[in-house]
Structure 1
């Protein structure tokens, strides 16, 4: 009989990449986490970890086992749903997460609508960037996340998660009101190729979108300022310090002397909803997904 607690430790090593990181997430010591995996290996009669440099990696047997482990987790989600089959009205606690813009434009109004329509449902919102949201889902700390699609996300084929498209968020070129491009309805980014640029900080998930949009237009932007917050970028633009690509969902400080100009090439980022596999069938999660899909079409108008 497989000990599911030990199996979860192995899943955590696969998710976080190292025994140490998995132990930290599970509130174990590294030695205790290693002991759990060694005992699981003895129970099954196979090696689950093998040396790789100064660390370890999962063996092919471990990878095969994880395929079944992910299926077990999905079946467990559905089993919990079956146990509550007579209680189809959304109720209880719904835990969600998202990055700041997603919370402001999508999760906050979603929570307000659900409170009105389902008084027995309590929604909790946790601000988290994309990687943390996947970690929280994996750990069972949240039920639903709104994330941005990035190259570092788990692939859509990852059996642990159910990722579904929600909306495309276009990037607008933001320039000072006095800028030569301010009066246009649309702009080709090549017209801003020689400008000073303001861009997201290097570790931001939006930075690759900005650089790839400029690259597709045939130039590398001369980035002179970096910022984490879209409103900080807008204030830098308002002071004539450069131009920026800012997603349309970002609500900027009112009355700044700036203009948002749509781009002819339609650069955009994709927003996804994400649950654990099988989790979207829960009445509370299903109700939240319906609200998010209803809000999405008007969010980027």
Structure 2
């Protein structure tokens, strides 16, 4: 009989391309991964891997086996969710991964709600970038991803995952209140008036960074990037201390934007927040409780929309 753990390793090799990458992700040695896959080949009775350069490639038989493994894992997720539903209330461990602005705002509020309503549910939180988060979700390293999507930067459709919309988060233009770029809102006609300003942006490799540069260039601004960071709180602090202009999600309005001038951007663009879980886990009571608490936290923490540029 085929071993489900070894099938999962084969699936990971298909996703990551090398035994070393699988070993790093799962905290094994490469030799241990190789040994397990060799045993799987003996169980299957057909070759499953072929060497290509420094990596490996799955054979046609292995690809068919991976497809069946996805089906099996979905069935096991569903069975686990059904068993959990037979118990009273949400309990056990739920592993959640998210980006920083959610971790700094709505997630702590949701966790406080869950501690009161579902004391038997232990939520573990991991800060991960989007690619690593979704890879971990597919690999069963995490159970829930909190994600975001920017205008013109759609998240890819990922088979086997269930997405549930959370809320729309307006994007704010944030200016300092002291220094050269402390420009009153009434003196700005648009983003083009900030063409010479130093900008504090997300890296261009990130969805928000790509979106920011697209918006600025469409307004005739080729941004002069003074600071590039994925940390929104650092970006806000750089603007607060007069070192440039930035774009911050409204979710972070409040103490993080004290002593700055925050304006709704032209056209009122927003990012869409959502949660994603594996299809078989949608009915898990812990997932349902977490999604409910997160939605309630989002409604509680949603800021008022500032005046528009």
Shorter-chain TM band: 0.7 to 0.9
For residue 174 of structure 2, what is the aligned residue in structure 1?
A: 174
Q: Structure 1 residues 67 and 254 mapped into 2: Cα distance closer, same or farther (>3 Å)?
A: closer
What is the Cα deviation at residue 75 of structure 1?
Answer: 0.5
What is the Cα deviation at residue 123 of structure 1?
Answer: 2.8
Deviates most, 272-281 or 82-91:
82-91
Query: Unaligned stretches of 5+ in structure 1?
Result: none
Output the TM-score relative to the length of structure 2: 0.83
Q: Structure 1 residues 180 and 102 mapped into 2: Cα distance closer, same or farther (>3 Å)?
A: closer
Deviates most, 53-62 or 242-251:
53-62
For residue 271 of structure 2, what is the aligned residue in structure 1?
A: 269
Is 1:163 the counterpart of 2:163? The answer is yes
Q: Deviations over 1:252-295 (max 9, x none)?
A: 65674320111123333332212223112111111111122233
Q: Secondary structure at the residue paired with 1:9? A: helix
Q: Secondary structure at the residue paired with 2:105? A: helix
Q: Structure 1 residues 231 and 41 mapped into 2: Cα distance closer, same or farther (>3 Å)?
A: same
Q: Deviations over 1:83-117 (max 9, x none)?
A: 34431421233332322211222221111112222
Q: Equivalents in 2 of 1:221, 1:186: separation in Å?
A: 17
Q: Structure 1 residues 184 and 67 mapped into 2: Cα distance closer, same or farther (>3 Å)?
A: farther
For residue 307 of structure 2, what is the aligned residue in structure 1?
A: none
Q: Equivalents in 2 of 1:63, 1:108: separation in Å?
A: 41
Q: Equivalents in 1 of 2:47, 2:188: separation in Å?
A: 60
In the alignment of these two chains, the number of paired residues is 300
Query: What root-mean-square deviation, in Å, do the aligned CA atoms of Structure 1 and Structure 2 show?
Result: 3.0
What is the Cα deviation at residue 14 of structure 1?
Answer: 2.4
CA contact (8 A) 2:166 2:274 kept: yes
Q: Equivalents in 2 of 1:32, 1:209: separation in Å?
A: 42
Q: Secondary structure at the residue paired with 2:261? A: strand
Q: Structure 1 residues 68 and 190 mapped into 2: Cα distance closer, same or farther (>3 Å)?
A: farther
Query: Unaligned stretches of 5+ in structure 2?
Result: 304-309
What is the Cα deviation at residue 77 of structure 1?
Answer: 1.0
Q: Equivalents in 2 of 1:71, 1:40: separation in Å?
A: 18
CA contact (8 A) 1:156 1:162 kept: no
Return the match for 2:249 from 247, 250, 259: 247
What is the Cα deviation at residue 246 of structure 1?
Answer: 1.4
Is 1:224 the counterpart of 2:226? The answer is yes
CA contact (8 A) 2:175 2:246 kept: yes
CA contact (8 A) 1:169 1:271 kept: yes
Q: Secondary structure at the residue paired with 1:241? A: coil
